[in-house]
Amino acid sequence: MGKKVSVLVVDDSHICRQLICEALSRDSDLEVVGTANNGKEALDAARELRPQVITMDVEMPVMDGLTAVEHIMAEVPTPILMLTADPRQQAPELTCRALELGALALQIKPAIDAGTDAWNLSREVKLLSSVRVIRHIHSKRRPPLPGAGTVGTTPTPVMGMPYGVLAVASSTGGPQVLFRMLSELPADFPTPIVIVQHINAAFSESLAGWLANSSKLKVRLAQDGEQLLPGNVLIAPPGQHLVIPFRGRVALKPGVERDGHMPSGTVLLESAAKAYGRRTMGLILTGMGEDGADGMVAIKQAGGVTVAQNEESCVVFGMPGAAVARKVVDHVIHGDDIAGALVRLARGESLAVGR
C-alpha cells in the first residue's frame, strides 16, 4: 500500500467537520492529519502540516474561506476543495471567486441530517491530490506579451472571412483562465464563443454569472436552438452535450459520456469542425485527462486553427498535453496571453514566433 493522502479539514461547524472526517476516514487511501475552525487556523495548519489536500468551508468567523484560500495559495500552494452551501442561495461571485484565487474545485455540502454516506468526497480529494498547484499572487499578474509563443503555421480563414466559431474545452484550473480571457476580450470580438467547462453541475449557473460579470461580452448558459452571434459566449449546461449541428446554431443533446464527461469538449469541438471546417478555432485549456484532444484532431483535419494553453501556466497539463502529443496544435500559448492571441487570430493576423 502506498503512502496515504494527507487531508486538512476546515469548517467552523463541529458537526460538518465530524461528517467530513468520518467520510474521508472510510477510504484507506486517505488520512485526515488535522482540522481547523476558521481560515486563520487553516493557514497556520497548512504551514505546519503541509497537507496534500485541503477541504475548505466558505463562510467562517475570524478569517473566511476565500481569504484563507488567497493566503494559502500565495504562501503554501495546496490543492483546495471548496465545500459550500447551495450557490443558488449566494451571489454568483462568492464561490467562483474561490476559483479565481486558486481553489481547484467546488462541491455542495449535503444536508447535515443526510448522514456520512452523502458526503462522498473521497474520489474528488484523491484526484486533487495528484494536481501540481502553482503559487497565486493576484496583485502581481504577469502582463500580457505583445507576441505569443507558437508552433507550426496559422491557417487562414476561407476567402479572408473571420472565423465562424471559437470552441473551447476546459477543466481543472480552467475557470481562472476563462475569467481572465473573457475579461480581456473586447466587446467587438467578432467570433462567437462556445465553451465546455467541467464543473460540479450545481455551480454551472454560478460560473456563468461570475464570468458574465467580468466580461464585456454576453455570457450565459446555452439553450437548445440558440443562435451563435458575435459578442456572445455560450457555456454548456450540465448533463447534456453542447453541439453545433449546423452553422449559426447550437443544440443540446442527451447521450453518454465521452472521455469521461458530459458535456464533453471533444463532442463540441468535433461538431464545430464539421459545421465550420476551416473557419473553426479550437482552444483547449488546463485540465485532467484527454477530453478535447480528439476534437482538436478533427479541427486540424478540417483546416481550422488550434490553440492550447502551455504547460507552464496550466494547473494540469493533461488535456492540452494530450492534444500537443497528437501534433495537432498550431499555437501553444501562456494562459495570460490567450485573449490577445485570440484577437489577433480573429482579425486574420499571424502570431509572432517565439516569446
Which positions are catalytic?
171, 198, 291
Q: Residues 167-204: pLDDT tens digits?
A: 999 999 999 999 999 999 999 999 999 999 999 888 89
Q: Residues 15-45: pLDDT tens digits?
A: 999 999 999 999 999 999 999 999 999 999 9
Supply the pTM of this predicted model. 0.87
**Residue in the structure block whose three cell numbers are 480581456:** 184
What would the grid cell of residue 180 be?
481572465
Q: Residues 72-101: pLDDT tens digits?
A: 999 999 999 999 876 665 666 677 888 888
Q: What element of type H or E holds 36?
A: strand 30-36
Within its chain, how far is the Cα of 206 from the centroid? 13
DSSP 119: -
DSSP 136: -
